Chains A and B, each alone.
Chain A
Amino acid sequence: MESLLELQPLFWQAVIETLKIVSISLIFGGIGGLLVGLALYTTRAGGVLQQRVVNGALNVLVNTFRPIPFIIFIAAVQPLAREVVGTGIGDPAAIFAISLAATFGISRLVEQNLVSVPEGVIEAARSMGCSPLRIIFTVLIPEALGPLILGYTFAIVAVIDMSAVAGFIGGGGIGNFAIQYGYRQYDYVVTWAAVIAIIVIVQLVQFFGNWLARKALRR
């Protein structure tokens, strides 16, 4: 217990670092996932931007990278991270890997939720003379907003989960804190403090996401 009191400044720093890694990754992964998801959905057969080749290529890409366990993925993309963010270790490399993995994961969530928008509603918009872009932003996304928010909430929780692995390539955050000061020192109090911090963050995210989705669905 004393050790936790002693480590308190480090603990709070780890919490802040986790929040930083998660939010930056979410900005990139969230937008990337939205774009790839929209592309997956709109280029499919019968979509408003039907493009067989593009759709096929995207599907192969997403299907190849999405199932890779994150702890392997983060190591595997290290060379790519070095190219893109200039380093293969630390927070920037972790953020890069998480953003990439989140893009693949979120793209499927987005695609699945857009599929749930009735075909007829899109046909109605087409019959009014809406352009594909207008259909995407004024029909598809608003119509799927409730489930999309729930999907993103799920994705945020998954990203928090991924961020715990950042320590593996020298990134910081709660996961790293738990391993370094809890697991390696056999200090269960410290480990559990980290666990509780993660639980609290996840609960807050889930609560907020549910509330927002309810508002969007008016239920």
Chain B
Amino acid sequence: MALVNPNEAVADSQPLVSLRGVTKRFAAQRRKSTGVLAVDDVSLDVAAGDVCGVIGYSGAGKSTLVRLINALEPINEGQILVDGQDIASLSGKQLRVARRNIGMIFQQFNLFASRTVLGNVAFPLRQSGMSGANARGRAQEMLDFVGLADKASNYPEQLSGGQKQRVGIARALAPNPTLLLADEATSALDPETTSEVLGLLRRANTDLGITMVLITHEMEVIQSLATHVAVMEAGRVVEHGEVFDVFARPRHPASRKFVGTVVKGVPSPAEAAMLRERHTGKLVTVSFTDGAASQGEVFQKLGAAGVPFELVYGGINEVQGKTFGHLTLALQGSDVAVDGALSTVREVAEVTEVA
């Protein structure tokens, strides 16, 4: 991330997006049925340059939450500041101007079928008053950025899903927004295309400095792209923090479930019983949760202490260059040797005995 000039520290401390006690209720469709509380008292800050991933199960309120940020839906309570501007208080015209600073991409791409690829990317520029020639020039630049310069005169229906999303990204970034909202931008794509699109978004963040709020139900997306993560459940943000912290030490059950999809944690009692049937020796779980220790270090210490071991459960993962995860080991040898070895391991990682 960019070096912070101490003089700018004050300005930098103001988040680009700030939600305070935001609540969104959808009115009941029929009489008697109660309305839906889609977003419930959410407070969340996104600093400039951050990539904030919002994860949650279907119906958690993720889409509603992002659609509040550019005021596609009005809020019922709370306050939303984008770049210091109170979005809910803006008039129609002011809001339209503010939206030009907030790009948005969608799961279904939402390209204009009646326009060429170039026409799609030039559209937001034309509508904000740029001349045709300038808009086409800028659009061509953006197509270069997403690697689709040769598709300029094609129509969306002639593109693959991944290409469509790249056009969507080019279109969203063409007006040079400070913030990009992405609603399940990769959920309609296969794994390979997903990583292509994620790579492109990462470049938009690092090369163009665009702040992002991206919604997903896939932990891999958070892991590969986000700096921060907010976990949503039933309209509330139940956990929020830096990606590494949430991945390494998830506190809320919902967060634990999501983290569990990318990395195996501590064995459950039933799993522990099975492990004990299949393996001899003392079972311990070594946890890497502060990003400092590496598994190699731990293995070295065990080797130096002359304690043979077997890896029986768990997994190690990396986010933002930091290792985290839990490894359950079966340690062989005398109690004294094992205890001695574990005390050296404890110097670098957390060790718990499997109950």
Contact = CB atoms under 8 A, between A and B. Distances in A.
A200 B117 CA distance: 41
Contacts of A8: none
B252 interface: no
Contacts of B124: 128-129
B297 to A, nearest CB: 48
Interface string B66-108: 0000101000000000000000000011011111101110101
A67 interface: no
B110 A128 contact: no
B127 interface: yes
Contacts of A123: 72, 106, 110
B97 A129 contact: yes
A120 B108 contact: yes
Interface residues of B, number: 28
Contact of A142 (B70, B96, B115): B115
A184 interface: no
B5 interface: no
Nearest to A138: B127
B113 A127 contact: no
A118 B70 CA distance: 20
Contacts of A124: 104, 106, 110-112
Given A118-B108, A120-B108, A218-B155, A128 B115 contact: no
B128 interface: yes
Nearest to A124: B110
Given A123-B72, A143-B112, A143-B114, A129 B104 contact: no
A120 B114 contact: no
A142 B112 contact: yes
A129 B128 contact: yes
Contacts of A130: 96, 127
B123 interface: yes
Interface in B289-339: none
Contact of B127 (A118, A129, A142, A145): A129
Contacts of A118: 108, 110
A62 interface: no
Contacts of B102: 127
Interface string A135-148: 00011001101000
A127 to B, nearest CB: 4
Contacts, number: 61
A127 B70 contact: yes
A131 B108 CA distance: 22
Given A124-B106, A128-B100, A129-B127, A139 B112 contact: yes
A134 interface: yes
A126 interface: yes
A11 B72 CA distance: 59
Interface string A15-58: 00000000000000000000000000000000000000000000
Interface string B168-207: 0000000100000100000000000000000000000000
Contacts of A218: 155
Given A126-B72, A127-B102, A120 B110 contact: yes
* B96, B103, B128, most chain A CB atoms within 10 A: B96
B268 to A, nearest CB: 42
A143 B113 contact: yes
Contacts of B115: 142
B230 to A, nearest CB: 21
A121 B100 contact: no
Nearest to A135: B127
Contacts of A142: 112, 114-115
A142 B70 CA distance: 25
A131 B96 contact: yes
Contacts of A216: 114
B96 A129 contact: yes
Nearest to B104: A127
Interface of A: 118, 120-121, 123-124, 126-131, 134, 138-139, 142-143, 145, 216, 218
24 contacts: A118-B108, A120-B106, A121-B112, A121-B113, A124-B104, A124-B106, A126-B72, A126-B99, A127-B70, A127-B72, A128-B99, A128-B104, A128-B127, A129-B96, A129-B97, A129-B98, A129-B100, A129-B128, A130-B127, A134-B127, A138-B127, A139-B112, A142-B112, A142-B115
Given A121-B111, A127-B70, 11 more contacts: A120-B108, A121-B112, A123-B110, A127-B102, A127-B103, A128-B127, A128-B128, A129-B100, A131-B96, A142-B112, A142-B115
Give the 7 A-B CB pairs with smallest separation, nearest first.
Answer: A129-B99, A129-B96, A124-B110, A127-B104, A120-B110, A128-B124, A142-B114
